[in-house]
Structure 1
Amino acid sequence: MKKLYSFFLGIVAIILLLWGIGVHIESQSKSSDSDKLVIYNWGDYIDPALLEEFTKETGIQIQYETFDSNEAMYTKIKQGGTTYDIAVPSEYMIAKMKSEHLLVPLDHSKIKGLENIGDRFLNQPFDKANKYSIPYFWGTLGIVYNTKLVKEAPEHWDDLWREEYKNDIMLIDGAREVMGFGLNSLSYSLNSKNEAQLQEAVDKLYRLTPNIKAIVADEMKQYMVQNNAAIGVSFSGEASQMLDGNEDLRYVVPSEASNLWFDNMVIPKTVKNKDAAYQFINFMLRPDSAYKNALYVGYSTPNTAAKALLPKEVQEDEAFYPSEETMKHLEVYESLGQKWLGLYNDLYLQVKMYRK
């Protein structure tokens, strides 16, 4: 009986030991998770020194992962299985993710520094009252041109149709972008849901095709820097990198109308360290952090306090900080819905396939 009793006590001791080890491992795991922040962002879209500074201030380690398109980011988060505490999607993707319940509503009582963001960058149609997102960077769609390869600089969308630009223009490969400036050139909204206006825009874009050298994506930067085209239609962030690589390049935003885009910070449904996510949002809302980030990345900051710290020539550069008058005519892409987005895509494909 004593042996049986001793055997029983031994079994109990082993069970308790294993339970203790399990609790310890779980505790260590939770501790590890609480000291780590996983950020999902575009490549080369933050000053690495800021990540180090955040860790030094808070003790929270950062795991930084990158994506190269909104669609890739969306798919990864929707699939789940991977922890992301912070992500930085664009405005149209924020609207999509919000509608599919892939984002966590923000607790504004935990956010400090939102007053540093300019009013024009808040309360946008894709996220009313900023319930799900906080502005990170913003920009425009415009025209990049090479001063040595054009006789007269293009300043308006209509200028792209000049005969002197034959086979000299590169367009970014995007239905909303190309259809958008086609509509804008006719004084229509780039969010038009009028079939007659859309067809008029397509007919006008057909007449542009002799001037189109190529419709490309990221490779436009290399082509423009290497003087392989006189003109390119692209985003301001891409244009900034082009200008850094070639002193003869300039960027202009047509004052009559264009696109205003946003990349905002969000907390995805995959979040595990919500407290650290809020700490990071607050850290990036600080003027000193946003200033350093804008200097490093070269994109336009929505943080007015940070902008005031930038060199005067940067603040006054209307290519990247357009005038109040130009800003009045800029539009954010709205969610068109499946029917109209499908029509935009079909019409854009017709333009791409058109040969005169």
Structure 2
Amino acid sequence: MKKFLIAFLVLMGICLGLSVGAQQLTKSTGDTGSKVLNLYNWGDYIDPTLLTKFQKETGYHVNVETFDSNEAMYTKIKQGGTSYDLTVPSDYMVQKMKADHMLIPLDKSRLTGMRNYGHSFMNKSFDPGNRYSIPYFWGTLGIIYNDQSIKPGQLAHWNQLWDSKYRDDIMLIDSARDIMGFTLISQHHSVNTTNTPELLAARDKLNKLSPNVKAIVADEIKMYMAEGEAPIAVDWSGEASEMMSQNSHLHYVVPTEGSNMWFDNLVIPKTAKHFKAIYAFLNFMNQPKNAAQNAEYIGYATPNTAAFKLLPKSVRDDKQFYPSQKVLDKLEVYSNLSPEKVQQYNDLYLEFKMHH
């Protein structure tokens, strides 16, 4: 009935003055009219007030759909039948989508504000020259601890997680690449190794961690740690930021021997249709004021160094989330591995989970 009424109003010409009705029509029918931008993003990964501001400034209505994993996003776009203009893959997934011809190169002549990004966050191995991607947020994998049980400075190395005094104390984020990754680092190997003996050795070492593992969980790890269910967790810096905002006893540390450095990035999938809206949005998000507002809302680290300077001093000086260059130099970005190696990582991780 509602759709019939709107259609009738359109036919009568009355809808020309009803922008809200037009936006509702766009949203409810999935219309690909020229004044929309279809954004496919992680859940709660942009300040909603920025979307409102963008819409007011440009007149482009933003439709947002969300995904909960890189793989889910990849599969949906690969299958076709979508009309997403922008999406937000992580580093290795940019590499995979690029290899599978699923991305449109950026037209640098239409972009403004690219000089705002720091050298440390550009020209990474997954997208040399940033031909396809603009960094959105970045962060690390590390250890969260509760100072009611763990003294500050007590946990600084991955290998300490295997100490028997932490029996049944550790929660792990349910992520094969990350859990295998920190174990490989603890054995002085690359997080991108394709060496089978090294991977088997990591699996064997992980099995020895089992007595210390209280649970292997997904997104609910934030709630558990905020509520003090465990004194230690391994998770991403952005998740740690959320936990810490809810419990002042929680702290985050990146082990000194190194860790993963991850990037989430804005890219244009082959399904894109609304290029004026796309570049208007990218340029809007490149603006330091907007990027800083987004970083404060999300709690993740911004690669926009001009935006970084606008953040509160307490945030800028927080080495947990903006580590020193010495720490940055020891971080590794995940590479896109072959399907066979991805399967091997997953299989060995599953063996550990079953062992646990």
Q: TM-score normalized by structure 2?
A: 0.88
8 Å contact kept, 1:145–1:249: yes
Local SS of the residue matching 1:34: coil
3-state SS of the aligned residue for 1:247? coil
| Aligned residue in 2 for 1:243 | 244
1:79 Cα deviation from its structure 2 partner: 2.1
Tell me if the contact between 2:39 and 2:64 (Cα under 8 Å) persists in the aligned partners.
yes
Counterpart in the other structure of 1:190: 191
Residue 180 of structure 1 aligns to a residue whose secondary structure is helix
* CA shift in 2, pair 1:32/1:329, >3 Å: closer
Q: What is the root-mean-square deviation of aligned Cα atoms in Å?
A: 1.7
Within 2, Cα distance between the matches of 1:65 and 1:172? 24
Which residue matches 1:147?
A: 147
Q: Deviations over 1:151-185 (max 9, x none)?
A: 56311101101111100101111111111100111
Displacement of 1:196: 2.5
1:76-133 CA distances to partner (integer Å, 9 max, x unpaired)?
Answer: 2122222111111111221111111111111111111111111111111111111111
Task: Determine the structure 2 residue equivalent to 1:264.
Answer: 265
Structure 2 unmatched runs, 5+: 1-10, 12-21
Native 8 Å contact 1:89 1:265 kept in 2: yes
Q: Distance in 2 between matches of 1:151 and 1:49?
A: 39
Secondary structure, in 3 states, of the residue corresponding to 2:137? strand
For 1:79, give the aligned amino acid.
Q
Percent of pairs with identical residues: 56
* Paired residue total: 328
Q: In 2, are the aligned partners of 1:55 and 1:62 still within 8 Å (CA)?
A: yes
Alpha-carbon distance in 1 for matches of 2:270, 2:256: 39
Preserved CA contact (<8 Å) 2:145 2:251 = yes
Tell me the SS of whatever aligns to 1:350. helix
What residue is the counterpart of 2:335 in the other structure? 334
Residue 3 of structure 2 corresponds to: none
Work out whether residues 88 and 267 of structure 2, in 8 Å CA contact, stay in contact via their aligned partners in 1. Answer: yes
Q: 2:57 is matched with which residue?
A: 57
2:122 maps to what in 1? 122
| CA offsets 1:12-58 (integer angstroms, 9 cap, x no match) | xxxxxxxxx9xxxxxx99x9711111111111111111111111211
CA contact (8 A) 2:39 2:62 kept: yes
Q: How does 1:1-356 map to 2 (within 5 A)?
A: 33-151=33-151, 153-354=154-355
Task: Give 5+ residue unaligned stretches, structure 1.
Answer: 1-20, 22-27
Please say if residues 33 and 272 of structure 1, whose CA atoms lie closer than 8 Å, have aligned partners that are also in contact: no
One-letter identity of the residue aligned with 1:56? K
Q: For the pair shown, which has the larger CA radius of gyration, 1 or 2? A: 1
Deviation of 1:200 after TM superposition, in Å, equals: 2.3
Distance 1:149 1:105, change over 3 A: same
Question: Matched residues in 2 for 1:253 and 1:181: separation?
Answer: 11
SS at match of 1:267: strand
Which structure 1 residue ranges, 4+ long, deviate > 3 Å from structure 2?
A: none
